[in-house]
Chain A
Amino acid sequence: MGLVRKKITGQPEQITWERLSADALRALLGDPDPDVRREAALGLEGVEEAVPDLLTRVILETEPNIRDSVLTTVSAYDTEAVAGALAVHLASDDAALRTAAAEALARMPRSMPALLPSLVAAPDHDVRVMTVMVLADLIHPDTGYWLTRVIRDDPHPNVVTAAIDALLPLATAEHAPLLEAAARRFPDDPFLRFTVQAALPGLTGTA
C-alpha cells in the first residue's frame, strides 16, 4: 500500500482502439453503448472517408454529448460539403442540435462564407438568427461585412438586434449611421432602441 508505480499490463482494456480499422470504427458509430460511439467518433479524426457516416450520425445521435464528440471530429473538415450538411441543422426544431451546429460552423472559417449568401436570405427568421450566432464567433475578416449587411437589410428586428450584438465588439465610429438607421427602421422595438442608444456614445466618443 502507498504510492505505487504503474504496472505494465498487456491488455489494458477490452477494445484496443488503436488497432481498429476505419471500417470497424465507422460501424461502431451505431453501437448501443454511448461510450463506444463516442470513442469511435473521436477515433475517426483524420479519416476523410468517414465524413459521410459522421454527418449521418449528427442526425441520428440522440445523446447531446455524443453528438458533440461527433461534431468535434467532423468540424475539423472545413469543407463546403460538411458546412452545407451542418447548416441544414440551423433550422432544426431541436435546440441542442441547432446550437451545436452553429458552434461547429463557427469553427469553419474557410467554408462558411460560401454559405452566407443563402443563409442570410433564408425565409425563416429563426435560421437567420442562428446564422448571426455563427457570425458572432466566426474568425474571418468578412464577418463585419456580413453583419453590416444584415443590420442594413434584414426585415426582422430580432435578426437585426442579434447582428448588432455581434458587430459591436468590432464596431467603429463609421458604424454609427448604420445603427441609427436600424433604430429608425424598428421604432417599436424597445430593446433595439436601448442597445443603439447605449452603444453610440462609445463609438462616436461623445460620451
Chain B
Amino acid sequence: MARAQAVGAGLTDADFTRFAEYFYKRTGIHFASSKRYFVDKRIEACIRQSPYDNFAGWFAALRVNERSGAMHQELINQLTVNETYFLREDYQFDAMLSTVLPNVLRDRGGVARIDGPVKILSLPCSTGEEPYSIALRVLEEWDRIDDVDVEIHGADIDSDVLAKATHASYGDRSLQRVPKPWLHKYFAPIGAGRYQVDEAIRSAVTLHRVNVCDTPAMRVFRDFDVVFCRNVLIYFDELSSRRAAENLYGAMRPGGYLFLGHSESMSRISPIFTPTRLPEGIVYQRPTGAK
C-alpha cells in the first residue's frame, strides 16, 4: 500500500484513486498516477469555484448533489482541452478520407449509382473551423470529389458562434495548422492579420441553429453519411447524452459514421451505435438493417 499523503488540494493517494475511478467510470477517461499533479491542480480549481472547502465535501456533492450537473461541466472544462482551430484532431479527417468516404461510396452503389449527395454534419460547429476544415480536406484530398456531390452542414445551439461561423474570418491562432498554399487558395486577407474563408466555400456550407437534445428540431437532419459530434456529449448528464445520441442516430443513414472527440466514448452514453475499428481509431456506425 502506498502511503496516504496530502498533496495540493489535500488529496490523499486514496482520494486520487477514488476520483480517478469515478471519472473513468463516468467518462471513460483514465488518469494514470503520472498525471497526479495535473489532476490535483485542476480539482483544486474546481473546489475553489464550489461552495466546498475540501475534497471530501466537493466529491460527495459531485456524486449525490442535485447541482452535480454544473459541477460536472466545470470538471470537464478543467480536465479536458476544448479549443477550436482549423484541422483539430486531424487524424479523424484522415480516417474520413481514407476509409469512411470510400466505404460510404461503396455502400451507396458507387459513383455510377449513388442517389443524392454525400452528406456530412459538424455538430457542434462552434465558430465554423470544423465544417470549413472538412470542406478544405475533402476538396483538396478526396480523389472522388469531382465525381460526387458533397453537402456539408454545421449546427450549433449558440447563435453568437453561428454568426461568427457565417462571417468566417479567423486569426493566427485558428489558422496555425492550415498549410500556406491552402490559405492562399481558399482564404482572403481582410486586414489585421485576419483571413476570411472564400465565398464559394462559405456558401457551400449550410449552417443551422439547433439544440442536439431537441428531437423535433433535430429532425431537419436526415440521411447523413458522416457526423462529427466532438467534445460535447461528455458535458451532458445521462439523460441528455442519451437523447442527443438518439437524435444523432435519427440524423444518420443506416451504416453512417459518427466521430466523437478523442477522449469520448459511446460506451458511457448509449449502446445504439455499433463500434467499428479503423486504422485511425474507433468510429461508430448506425447499424444497417432493422436488426
Chain A contacts to B: CB under 8 angstroms: 1-6, 12-13, 17-18, 33-35, 38-39, 42-43, 45, 63-65, 68-69, 72, 75-76, 103, 106-107, 109, 137-141, 143-144, 168-170, 172, 201-203, 205-207
- B9 interface residue per 8 A CB criterion: no
CA distance A72 to B2 in the complex (A): 43
Q: Is the CB of B14 within 8 A of A5?
A: no
Min CB gap A35→B, angstroms: 6
Note all chain B residues with C-beta closer than 8 A to A109. 66
Q: Is the CB of B239 within 8 A of A33?
A: no
Note all chain A residues with C-beta closer than 8 A to B238. 103, 106-107, 137
Min CB gap A77→B, angstroms: 11
CA distance A168 to B25 in the complex (A): 14
- B98 interface residue per 8 A CB criterion: no
Interface segment, one of B16-24, B172-180, B256-264: B16-24
Interface segment, one of B57-65, B155-163, B189-197: B57-65
Whether A170 contacts B145 in the complex (CB less than 8 A), given A43-B215, A107-B239, comes out as: no
Nearest CB to that of A198 among chain B residues? Answer: B1
Note all chain B residues with C-beta closer than 8 A to A202. 4, 12-14, 17-18
- B151 interface residue per 8 A CB criterion: yes
Tell me the chain B residues, 58-76 only, with Cβ under 8 Å from chain A: 59-60, 63-66, 68
Q: Is the CB of A6 within 8 A of B153?
A: yes
Note all chain A residues with C-beta closer than 8 A to B247. 42
Nearest CB to that of B3 among chain A residues? Answer: A207
Whether A3 contacts B139 in the complex (CB less than 8 A), given A33-B290, A75-B239, comes out as: yes
Q: Is the CB of A207 within 8 A of B271?
A: no
- B83 interface residue per 8 A CB criterion: no
Q: Is the CB of B243 within 8 A of A72?
A: yes
CA distance A35 to B247 in the complex (A): 12
CA distance A13 to B253 in the complex (A): 12
